[in-house]
């Protein structure tokens, strides 16, 4: 049976979950299970969008009074036994071996880079530890999330890795919510700094494979890819991939096809994936979920269930390998909801089984995101259609 709590030396981690339709009871039950009667230093909550977050936060506070809480709504929650979209998952950290501190920036869409810097600065200013990581939970509908990474990096520097994910609203794409302490927010960046006296590992894998020859992004503006190899980007995309006929003219059919055919951007540390969210049929442009730099190399990508599931094993292995031989105390998973287009409901269940098996019984919690954060080198660190795993020892 998967563990709901794990303790090593002076640190402990726990996870709890509830599918109770009553938001107050769900929050209280998940928090109580995660804490297991111990005093936590921080709680992280991933919550189905249908919940009353004010009531849920009140329930968490009753079960764990005075414990700092961060969290967000999701496009699905991950536990060691299930992948659902109607529940709440709470992850708890405690013990003298962990130090935690949080920060928040509201009205983030006005200046995402400044918001990233503000939230990161507040969190890191009060968090020490031989090993540190900064977790970001953001409103992915607020604009280009790479700007949040740039802002956080300007404060954290190269020595503090970034992880996390963009909040979801169960694919309604209308508005997501974030939690910081007792406040329920939107259009915000929430940061949690975690310091530890033991190693921390991060794994980043996507499972997508290159299709055909590379292309030069000859013209781009922010999230819009205007031309590839000096030809209209949409024309190149359609010609190379040969999607169903409806995708050539119907926005919904195009997006459904693009869900499993992202763009891969050539980076020094490997490909960065960009979800192609739509097409501008009049201008013949591709519209992505995050910035695509002009002048870089890009690939068309595709995958299947086997390659995407293998990426889950690889991400866990990469994270665990960085723990210097120590057993995992707990794992957090940030998994792009767009991967569901490949996996389907049965595949999502198989992915959870693989994540739980790789955790070797350590508590596991996570959520399906609208984009993932993982910066371990360089300034870039926003991903799409990718799985990010954070391992604590």
- Each residue's pLDDT tens digit, 301-311: 988 888 889 99
Check pLDDT > 70 for residue 143. Answer: yes
Least confident of 32-41, 159-168, 187-196, 252-261: 252-261
Please say which residue of 302, 334, 356 terminates a domain.
302
pLDDT given for residue 304 in this prediction = 82
pTM, 2 dp: 0.90
Query: What strands, in cross-sheet order, belong to the sheet with 387-392?
Result: 83-84, 77-79, 364-369, 330-336, 387-392, 200-205
pLDDT (mean) for 82-104: 91
Q: Quick check: 127 and 200 in contact, CB under 8 A?
A: no
Q: Which contacts qualify for 303-308: CB closer than 8 Å, 24 or more apart?
A: 303/206, 303/207, 303/208, 303/209, 303/260, 303/342, 304/342, 305/342, 305/343, 305/344, 305/347, 305/350, 307/207, 307/208, 307/209, 308/206, 308/207, 308/208, 308/339, 308/342, 308/343, 308/347, 308/351
The verdict on 105 and 147 lying in the same domain is: yes
More confident residue, 34 or 270: 34
**In whole numbers, what is the pLDDT of the chain averaged over residues?**
92
Could you tell me if 156 and 72 lie in one domain? yes
pLDDT at 9 (0 to 100) = 65
Sorting pLDDT into bands at 50, 70 and 90, what band is 275? Answer: confident
Q: Residue 268 belongs to what domain range?
A: 209-302
Diameter of the chain measured on Cα atoms: 62
Confidence of residue 376 (pLDDT cuts 50, 70, 90): confident
- Tell me which of 10-24, 127-141, 290-304 is least confident: 290-304
- Cα dihedral 298/279/167/102 (nearest 10): 50
Q: Is residue 134 located within the same domain as residue 27?
A: yes
Q: Domain check: are 148 and 53 in the same one? A: yes
Cα(299)–Cα(211) distance, integer angstroms: 7
Residue 340's pLDDT is: 75
Query: If pLDDT is split at 50, 70 and 90, which confidence band does 25 have?
Result: very high
Give φ, ψ of 23 to 5 degrees: -65, -40
Task: Say how many Å lie between the first and final Cα of the chain, rounded.
Answer: 20
Which of 270, 302, 334 is the C-terminal boundary of a domain?
302
Chain centroid to Cα 25, Å, comes to 26
Pair 97, 61 in one domain: yes
Q: What confidence score (pLDDT) does residue 270 get?
A: 67
214 and 160 belong to one structural domain: no
- Looking at the structure, tell me whether residues 272 and 128 fall in a common domain: no
The predicted pLDDT at position 320 comes to: 97
What average pLDDT does this structure show over 36-64? 97
Separation of alpha carbons 275 and 382, rounded Å: 11
Cβ distance 240 to 211 under 8 Å?
yes
Statement to judge: residues 143 and 221 lie in one domain: no
Q: Domain check: are 259 and 152 in the same one?
A: no
The residue-averaged pLDDT of 68-77 equals 96
Task: Compute the distance between CA of residue 274 and CA of residue 290 in angstroms, rounded to an integer.
Answer: 7
Element (H, E) at 358: helix 340-358
Q: How many domains does the chain have?
A: 2
Highest mean pLDDT among 192-196, 357-361, 381-385: 192-196
pLDDT of residue 1: 41
Looking at the fold, whether 43 and 154 belong to one and the same domain comes out as yes
Digit-coded pLDDT (tens) for 174-191: 999 999 998 999 999 999
* % residues pLDDT > 70 (the chain): 96
Q: What is the dihedral of CA 320, 324, 328, 334, to 10 degrees?
A: -40
In a shared domain, residues 198 and 231: no
Model confidence at 253, in pLDDT bands (50, 70, 90)? very high
Q: What is the pLDDT of residue 80?
A: 86
**389 contact partners, CB below 8 Å, separation of at least 6:** 201, 202, 203, 204, 315, 316, 318, 319, 331, 332, 333, 334, 355
Domain boundary among 302, 337, 352: 302
Please check the confidence at residue 379 and state whether its pLDDT lies above 80: no
Check residue 6 and give its pLDDT.
72
Q: Pick the range with the lowest mean pLDDT from 70-84, 267-281, 286-300.
A: 267-281
Residues contacting residue 114 through CB under 8 Å, at least 6 positions apart: 105, 151
Listed in sequence order, the residues at least 6 apart from 70 whose beta carbon sits closer than 8 Å to its beta carbon are: 42, 43, 44, 45, 102, 135, 137, 178, 179, 180, 181, 190, 192
Shared domain for 232 and 164, answered yes or no, is: no
Higher-pLDDT residue of 305, 86:
305
């Amino acid at each position: 049976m998967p563990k709901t709590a794990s303790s090593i030396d002076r640190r402990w981690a726990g996870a709890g979950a509830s599918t109770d339709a009553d938001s107050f009871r769900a929050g209280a039950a998940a928090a109580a299970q995660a804490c297991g009667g111990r005093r936590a230093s921080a709680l992280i909550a991933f919550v189905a969008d249908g919940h009353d977050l004010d009531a849920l936060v009140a329930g968490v506070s009753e079960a764990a009074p005075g414990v700092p809480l961060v969290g967000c709504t999701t496009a699905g929650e991950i536990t060691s036994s299930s992948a659902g979209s109607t529940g709440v998952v709470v992850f708890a950290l405690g013990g003298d071996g962990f130090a935690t501190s949080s920060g928040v920036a509201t009205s983030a869409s006005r200046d995402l880079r400044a918001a990233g810097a503000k939230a990161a600065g507040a969190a890191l200013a009060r968090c020490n530890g031989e090993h540190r990581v900064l977790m970001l939970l953001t409103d992915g509908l607020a604009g280009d999330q790479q700007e949040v990474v740039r802002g956080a990096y300007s404060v954290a520097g190269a020595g503090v890795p970034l992880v996390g994910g963009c909040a979801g609203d169960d694919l309604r794409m209308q508005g997501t919510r974030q939690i910081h302490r007792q406040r329920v927010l939107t259009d915000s960046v929430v940061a949690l700094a975690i310091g530890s006296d033991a190693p921390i590992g991060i794994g980043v894998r996507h499972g997508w494979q290159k299709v055909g020859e590379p292309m030069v992004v000859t013209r781009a503006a922010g999230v819009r890819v205007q031309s590839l190899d000096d030809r209209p980007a949409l024309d190149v995309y359609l010609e190379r991939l040969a999607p169903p006929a409806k995708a050539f003219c119907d926005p919904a059919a195009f997006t459904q096809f693009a869900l499993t055919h992202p763009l891969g951007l050539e980076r020094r540390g490997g490909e960065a994936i960009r979800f192609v969210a739509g097409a501008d049929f009049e201008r013949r442009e591709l519209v992505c979920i995050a910035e695509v730099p002009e002048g870089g190399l890009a690939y068309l990508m595709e995958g299947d269930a086997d390659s995407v599931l293998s990426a889950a094993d690889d991400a866990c292995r990469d994270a665990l390998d960085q723990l210097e031989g120590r057993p995992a105390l707990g794992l957090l998973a940030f998994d792009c909801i767009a991967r569901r287009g490949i996996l389907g409901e049965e595949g999502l269940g198989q992915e959870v089984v693989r994540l739980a098996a790789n955790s070797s019984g350590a508590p596991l919690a996570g959520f399906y995101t609208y984009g993932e954060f993982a910066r371990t080198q360089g300034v870039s660190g926003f991903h799409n259609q990718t799985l990010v795993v954070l391992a604590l020892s």
